[in-house]
Structure 1
């Protein structure tokens, strides 16, 4: 029997123990413990097997802009997942790591919001034709950062429990992921950037969180 099938049997026994009464609980727990002892499987291995991961495209830059990282952090907080940034010659992606369906929902909502963010940033940048290129980029990036802040006012945030966070950290360490903080492109706001920041916040607050999302994703993402 493969390790995956053994872990699956153990988890089914534990699930039965949590949903049953009386003697069934004791029987299910004994079955789970017997399997763990027989195959030399510890509690940590069982917990780690519950971790799910989903990847989403994150552009091509090895040094993503700050507004992108802000959005990733917002999504991670909203869905109680941990993000890992992967980059290579063929582009970059974000891997959301968590439990149950949370990583899948996080990745989906990230894609929906990131697409809107890029569209709004592009539209705003086109209004800056009289500015030099460097000033356009700075203003557009600050607009986008404020956009993320605007969206954050509409999103419910969930915290991982200490145990969940510990399990995810162990999972990441076990895989040997590179946890070096990614260098990000950021700008220091200037006095004349007030309009970009204000308009970005307004656009973010008007973002459509439900575009392309199902009812379950709506309930998880917002207060309503």
Structure 2
């Protein structure tokens, strides 16, 4: 893209592989201009966007400058008054010392306020986090090895309870060392900090079916 001298604000967004078009459309609708796309991992892509920085209207500059001058003037006046007080105090005669019984100050206990704990609500489940969690949990379940290759589709929009349903493609190795193609479908719920597979199934071309939840 040609540099027209304008100042831009840049932003990078990570998204699941295969869902780049959806993420791009969302941010472009919000006024961001698409710049580039990079593959950062097996399951994630990074999209870079930019948009123009807002400029301060010219008519606000006199008000800003006036405010700065006012603050500087207040500091100068305060300094002059402080200097006058200090010089006056040095010119006063020091009275003769009068012997008086020393009084013992009484300390008053101060109640210390106990701050109330801040409770942070758990973040709703993110689509990318849900898909990665489903893929990683299935890879850990493969007894003889295998790989979840990519997310084929998010089958539905998020359910009312925030659960996502995905369809994934995988390669599974059996006990004889033979690789076979498989398809995984699964529901993932919970939160970003604690996602959960509520229901999932793996099936292969030769009819093998494996259920998984937890």
TM above 0.5, yes or no, is: no
- Answer 1 or 2: higher relative contact order, Cα 8 Å, separation at least 6: 1
- Which has the larger helix fraction? 1
Structure with max Cα Rg: 2
After TM superposition, the score normalised by the length of structure 2 is 0.29
- Which has the larger strand fraction? 2
